[in-house]
Amino acid sequence: MEIIWGNQLAEEVKADLRQKVDALKEQGKRLPVLAVVLVGDNPASQSYVRSKANACISVGMENKTIVLDGDISQEALLEKVKELNADPNIDGILVQLPLPKHLDADSVIMAIDPNKDVDGLHPVNAGNLLTGRDGFVPCTPLGIMYMLKSVGYEDLAGKTAVVCGRSNLVGKPVALLLQNQNATVTIVHSKTPHIEEICSQADILVVAMGKEKMVKANWVKEGAVVIDVGINRMENGKLCGDVDFEDVKAKTKAITPVPKGVGPMTVCMLLSNTYRAYQIHERG
């Protein structure tokens, strides 16, 4: 059994980006800039936004964190997004979700320039992924594919993959990426009967359900690679995933931990998408 340490893999990706940014600096060029919009004072969102800003700094990219009042109007938020779209010095735009209840996240996502949509959430980018075109792919799915590659799972022909969860941010895009790599993919979700039986057929099991330690040993095929996207805070204050790591690990070929698993990969893929957005803008 191998533990896939996302924090270590993330350092590899960041070292590569740092070199690329250093080269830009040496050539006296403009540096990539990521704008992160935080609306309100949700503590979890504040912490995620901080870690995104710190990650930018750690590779020498620039970060512009825009904190807006929790009671901002929909119109004012859309105006802010338009301003960032029009700003030639901004490469990537990320609006931290969830937004306060009075705001409509969908129309905010729709307002982001698809060429700056480093979250890959705009329907143009979602459609590009669906139809096999180039575009921005959401960061967590990109990180998951990188983790699979790190254990030699790249061409997935002949492998069955089961994705638990059907969100636009994780479940749906990761299923498409797995399929692009020739895996035979099944998506299951909270309303799927016999979910554990279906999961127990998977050579690759990706779990993004948001349910603390839901996946037990009987859900897992002997020798499976298990990717745990969940981040749940237990009553004792510690973090855990959607997979019961201790129960499952002995059965797996490889498994991601929580914390230090998928989370750090998501953040570094955001940097990688920002660098890509920069390249697109510089090419004009």
Task: Check binding of 115 to ligand GUN (CB under 6 A).
Answer: no
The sign of the dihedral angle between the CA atoms of 231, 171, 9, 114 is negative
Among 91, 119, 203, 228, binds ligand GUN (CB under 6 A): 119
Q: Is 52 a residue of the active site? A: yes
Number of residues that bind ligand GUN (CB under 6 A): 7
C-alpha 79: how far from chain center = 26
Report which DSSP code applies to 27: T
- Tokens 């510089």 found at: 282
3-class secondary-structure state, position 10: helix
Residue 169: CB minimum distance to ligand GUN, A: 6
Q: Is 119 a residue of the active site? A: yes
Answer whether 36's CB lies under 8 Å from 48's CB: no
Could you tell me the CA-to-CA distances from 163 to 50, 139, 185, 254 in Å, in that order?
29, 16, 7, 16
H, E, C per residue of 208-222: CCCCCCCECHHHCCC
Intra-chain end-to-end CA distance of the chain, in Å: 47
Task: Check binding of 169 to ligand GUN (CB under 6 A).
Answer: yes
Task: Check binding of 217 to ligand GUN (CB under 6 A).
Answer: no
In the complex with ligand GUN, the residue whose CB is nearer, 129 or 139, is: 139
Catalytic residue among 14, 80, 91, 96: 96
Q: Is 96 a residue of the active site? A: yes
Task: Check binding of 95 to ligand GUN (CB under 6 A).
Answer: yes
Task: Check binding of 56 to ligand GUN (CB under 6 A).
Answer: no
- Token readout for 138 is 């959401």
In the complex with ligand GUN, the residue whose CB is nearer, 203 or 228, is: 228
Largest CA distance in the chain: 58
Catalytic residue among 52, 116, 159, 251: 52
Amino acid at 280: I
In the complex with ligand GUN, the residue whose CB is nearer, 55 or 94, is: 94
Among 53, 66, 67, 97, binds ligand GUN (CB under 6 A): 97
Task: Check binding of 139 to ligand GUN (CB under 6 A).
Answer: yes
Residue 233: CB minimum distance to ligand GUN, A: 14
In the complex with ligand GUN, the residue whose CB is nearer, 112 or 224, is: 112
Give the list of residues 6+ apart from residue 15 with CB closer than 8 angstroms, or none.
none
By Cβ distance, which residue is nearest to ligand GUN?
97
Residue range at the interface with ligand GUN (CB under 6 A); choices 9-17, 91-99, 143-151, 228-236: 91-99
Residue 140: CB minimum distance to ligand GUN, A: 6
Residue range at the interface with ligand GUN (CB under 6 A); choices 88-96, 143-151, 204-212, 257-265: 88-96
Give the residues across from 36 on adjacent strands: 65, 94
Report which DSSP code applies to 263: H
CA–CA gap between residue 127 and residue 130 (Å, rounded): 5
Among 10, 13, 81, 94, binds ligand GUN (CB under 6 A): 94
Q: Give the residue among 228, 201, 231 at the shortest CA–CA distance from 215.
A: 228
Answer whether 86's CB lies under 8 Å from 116's CB: no
The catalytic site residues sit at 52, 96, 119
Q: Which residues bind ligand GUN (CB under 6 A)?
A: 94-97, 119, 139, 169
